[in-house]
Amino acid sequence: MTTQEKPTSRDRLLEAAATLAYREGVGIGVEALCKAAGVSKRSMYQLFESKDDLLAASLERQAESYAASLLPATGDGRSPRERILYVFEQVESQSGRPEFRGCPYLAVQIELKDRDHPASRVAHRIKSSLTAFFRTEAEQGGASDPDLLARQLSLVFDGASARAGIGADRLTGLVEPTVGSLLDAAGVR
């Protein structure tokens, strides 16, 4: 019989930061983070220089699972068009969950305003990687202007996840035709 390892103080802080920042925003206080993690402030400051660094580390830690929740597997046999549409199918599916608050990386960028904030830099890099994915697929799919299409797809992704995240719109039946029209106009197969 194997025993599960107990999460470290660092792991608990990273998880608390991810959960609370997504649910309540990046303005969450240090006391609330420490309470949720079951860690003293002293311990937090021994592990992280600041709350800003904790938030950035939390976003960095989530990046791989976030990408895995959205992007199709490499070499999965789908066409570039299908791979792009897959991303929007995933966000549509996720948006139906009661806990959905939109893209966590976009939310951080909007809330912080400061592009030099450590968490904002992480969020910007993760969002840029999604645009790069769209660009690669657009180019492989024969898009007339892969850069423009990638930016348009990122705009639709951010707008869709933000509107669904605040409860302003449901994505079902809205996102796929919108993205399909962009792909058609760009000649993506």
Whether 179 is in a domain gets the answer yes
Domain extent, residue 156, equals 52-186
Which CATH number is 119's domain given? 1.10.357.10
Predicted pLDDT at 1: 47
Q: What is the DSSP string of 52-75?
A: HHHHHHHHHHHHHHHHHHHSPPTT
Whether 23 is in a domain gets the answer no
Whether 6 is in a domain gets the answer no
Given phi > 0 = left and psi -120 to 50 = alpha, else beta, which region is 62? alpha
Whether 19 is in a domain gets the answer no
Structure tokens at 185: 């106009």
Predicted pLDDT at 165: 95
Predicted pLDDT at 5: 82
Whether 65 is in a domain gets the answer yes
Position 97 pLDDT exceeds 70: yes
Whether 150 is in a domain gets the answer yes
Mean pLDDT of all residues in 125-131: 97
Could you give the CA distance from residue 95 to residue 99 in angstroms, rounded to a whole number? 9
Position 4 pLDDT exceeds 80: no
Whether 81 is in a domain gets the answer yes
Whether 30 is in a domain gets the answer no
Domains: count for the chain: 1
